[in-house]
Amino acid sequence: MPFHSFFTVVLIAAVILLILLAVISFGDIAAGIRLARLFSLFKCSPTRKTGSLWIDEKHRKWSFISADRLYDFSEIESYDIQLDGVSLKMKSEYLRAGCDAAELTADGNRTFERIFVTVLVKDKKRPYVNIPVGGAVQIGSKQYEKCIRLAELICSQLEIMKNSN
């Protein structure tokens, strides 16, 4: 009889895990569907997707997975990669200047909970937006390197859009 109870517990745990995975996947799928509808509402269609950044080069519009509107290329003022709210530009400038700020020089086994690209836009109500890139990654890990490469790729796309005005 103990075999049946063990099997039942394992089966219930597997079902719960599958349900959690379905819910998480559905959230990503739903966000993509919502963004596709947003583009179609403005008779646009994304011609390029870089991570969660979607771009319509023909109509000069862009948005991202968690956005509630489309932005025009001309609305981009500047952008920066943020690791838990610490700017990579600021970190490199502080280190070049010889500053020894603890939160900027802390390396080692540090884990970042959120990596995103912050874009300053010409919008008085919401002057910046955060494009999610990744999270819960440790410095030096392959996942960290992958997230940083994606963030840099998003920044290069933003630079192309900004300079196309």
Do 27 and 83 lie in one domain? The reply is no
- Is the pLDDT at 27 greater than 80, yes or no? no
Do 36 and 48 lie in a common domain? no
pLDDT band at 54 (very low <50, low <70, confident <90, very high): very high
Assess whether 49 and 27 both reside in one domain. no
The answer on pLDDT for 109 being more than 60 is no
Q: Do 67 and 136 fall into the same domain?
A: yes
Check whether 144 has a pLDDT greater than 80. yes
51 and 154 Cβ atoms separated by less than 8 Å: yes
Residues 17 and 49 in one domain: no
| Confidence grade of residue 79 (pLDDT, cut at 50, 70, 90) | very high
% of the chain surpassing 90 pLDDT:
43
Q: What is the mean pLDDT of residues 8-29?
A: 71
Query: Same structural domain for residues 49 and 37?
Result: no
Do 28 and 51 fall within a single domain? no
User: What pTM, to 2 d.p., does this model score?
Assistant: 0.74
Q: Which comes out higher in pLDDT, residue 52 or 30?
A: 52
pLDDT at 100: 46
pLDDT at 122: 93
Judge if 22 and 59 occupy the same domain.
Answer: no
For residue 87, give its domain range: 44-163
37 and 62, same domain (yes or no): no
Residue 26 has pLDDT above 80, yes or no: no
Question: How much is the pLDDT for 3?
Answer: 59
Q: How many domains does the chain have?
A: 2
Same domain assignment for residues 150 and 82: yes
54 and 89, same domain (yes or no) = yes
pLDDT band at 139 (very low <50, low <70, confident <90, very high): confident
Tell me the two tokens of residue 3: 């075999």
Once rounded to an integer, what is the mean pLDDT over residues 131-152? 91
Whether 89 and 134 map to the same domain: the answer is yes
